[in-house]
Amino acid sequence: PVWNSCVEFYRIERAGQLVGQFYLDPQARKGKRGGAWMDDVRTRWLRPDNQQLQTPVAHLVCNFAAGVDGKPALLTHDDVITLFHETGHGLHHMLTQVNERDVSGIAGVEWDAVELPSQFMENFCWEWDVLKHMTAHVDTGEALPRALYDKMIAAKNFQSGMQTLRQIEFALFDMLLHTEHDPAADFMALLNQVRSEVAVLPSPAYNRMANTFSHIFAGGYAAGYYSYKWAEVLSADAYAAFEETVLPDGSPNPETGRKYRQSILEAGGSRPAMESFKAFRGREPQIDALLRHQGMSQAA
């Protein structure tokens, strides 16, 4: 049973065996909470009382615009990224092979690694070979033109270096504020110190960003704002493994996908995330792929 007619229910099977299930609730409607998220309904767990395996169930919730006047619902590129992102969280939860529910799926995964599978999936939304096969003009049916795709990439990477420095400024201020700052001291002096180290453009005196930095006071990211950028490093480097092992015909290497599934998705929170990453990549994360994906180079 589903709670609305637009909700769909899916099963994931491998060789005829149930692996996981999920609800997809994609459309906005009156009374529905805004935003997009994945949450667990049920976690994989081997029950100790009867040794029965409980398979995971998730719900993927979005708020895409419904079709009007008999016309089909259309997704923007940002909508597609959102769908892929939440699907990444869902796969992390549903493909786990861990039987202890406290570390099964997304449970127990460190805060700064939980976005790895979700941001990893976003990379596919910027691949030409992917977009040309999953896009169609609503009237003509023609795929996304290559020229428009090139403009999208250029827009994505516009001032990416400045955006990176801005995120580093936020992350460094947050970490120093929670580890080295004297509460009786002027926090603006600390912020200005950070800006002097990383900012390219000077900030005006009236810019008191810290007064409204809700992420680190009311949003759960205290001493953890860095995890946004760190997750980008992890996901870009993981995706680079697929770029490096592409088959001669241009298709992804199934062996790389299997290794990613087993090393990252199936392991859940059963071991430190760094161990899972190194099991997949054979080394610690590097920033090269992120710089390349954002139109920068390490030399820059």
Nearest partner of 18 among 50, 52, 51, 60, judged by Cα: 52
Q: Is 107 left (phi over 0), alpha (psi -120 to 50) or beta?
A: beta
* Tokens 């390349």 found at: 292
Establish whether 100 is a catalytic residue. Answer: no
Task: Count other Cβ atoms within 10 Å, centred on residue 180.
Answer: 8
Contacts of 63 (CB under 8 A, 6+ apart): 27, 28, 32, 34, 35, 36
Catalytic residue among 8, 86, 255, 284: 86
Q: Which residues pair with 11 in a beta bridge?
A: 21
- Residue that is written with structure tokens 């290794």 in the block: 259
Residue type, 210: A
- Look at the alpha carbons of 9, 15, 18, 21 in this order and tell me if their dihedral is positive or negative: negative
Catalytic machinery residues? 86
